[in-house]
Structure 1
Amino acid sequence: MKPTKFESAIILIDQKNSEDINTYSVYGIDYSKELLYSHRMSQKLLQFEPEASEALQIAARAQHICRWKIARNEYPMDRVGYLKWRETLKKMHADITAEILEQVGYDSEFIERVSFLINKKLIKKDEGSQTIEDVICLVFLEFYFEDFAAKHSEEKIIDILQKTWKKMSEKGHAEALKLSYSDTDLELIKKALA
């Protein structure tokens, strides 16, 4: 049986992300970093929003597509450089995904919607963009926060947690508080939210 457009798109996104030479080890198994991230995004999206649209599912899966191709150090190591890097990445993620979606036969309206979601436009106003933002924050908190916290000062961690919290919806906050954290991380979260 021929795969659907949706299945074909997911296969091609995974294929691109499996080219990531950066690895992330889980239970002693090395995964392509962005492939693992994209699977975590899909899984978390469906836990958080079981009725997620196809556009939302594709945007979540392609959130970091080929991210390794534009290194952070190609931009000045300050706030302005960081924001420029993030904007460039979002455009690249949206462009690569748009090519895939066109290739598998999606129409321009659908492709525009996915690009809009990947760019996380109108967070707080657009339900889909807000859902993507919540899922990104939940994936960070569940899978990456502990490693991040171990490498940075308490002041920086609290600042990041407060910024993360601000981006999330009430529903996102409720889910974030259900995740299991180490005692140390939980203390940091409590300080950030105090």
Structure 2
Amino acid sequence: MISLLKKSATLIAGAAGLAVVCGLSLTQPSFAEKTVMVGGAAMYPSKNIIENAVNSQDHTTLVAAVKAAGLVDTLSGPGPFTVFAPTNSAFEKLPNGTVPTLLKPENKGKLTGILTYHVVAGKLTAQDLWDMVDKMGGKAELKTVNGQSLWIKKASEKHLAVYDPAGHAGRITISNVLQSNGVIHVIDNVVQPN
């Protein structure tokens, strides 16, 4: 048994040495982490919101918008944040030309306002959201980072949705994507502040 353990330790040390020589990193997230698949990529709870979001093929528009708005450092920070993350197809539902216009430097303020409207301070899991909705009689108000409110309501017996003042809804399609600095809930529509 001791001989087997020594051989295993030698193999592991050899693999680590080979990885260093080849320029590979052995600091990947632990396989023991419970991940959620979003946009074809595993989202690791040990990584922050930005580190995970850049790997989702369903959120390339959101990532580009976050970069254009200068919010990368904020969403990489300690938080915690709850992010309602619209997919690429959610952005495609906006009127033609909206996204390219918002990504222009002169529209940074408006873009920042829309993006921060999708962020709430604190870490609110799906259970927290359901509890709030139940406690408030079916509709709960959330104060967003941009200072305006959005509302969370039941979209069905199994799904919640966030609503803006105009009544546009973003249904939560994937919940509880845990991050080191908060949680992401994927939504299927872009909600907008006043």
TM-score, reference length from structure 1: 0.28
Q: Which has the larger radius of gyration?
A: 2
Higher relative contact order (CA 8 A, sep 6+): 2
**Which structure: greater strand fraction?**
2
TM-score, reference length from structure 2: 0.28
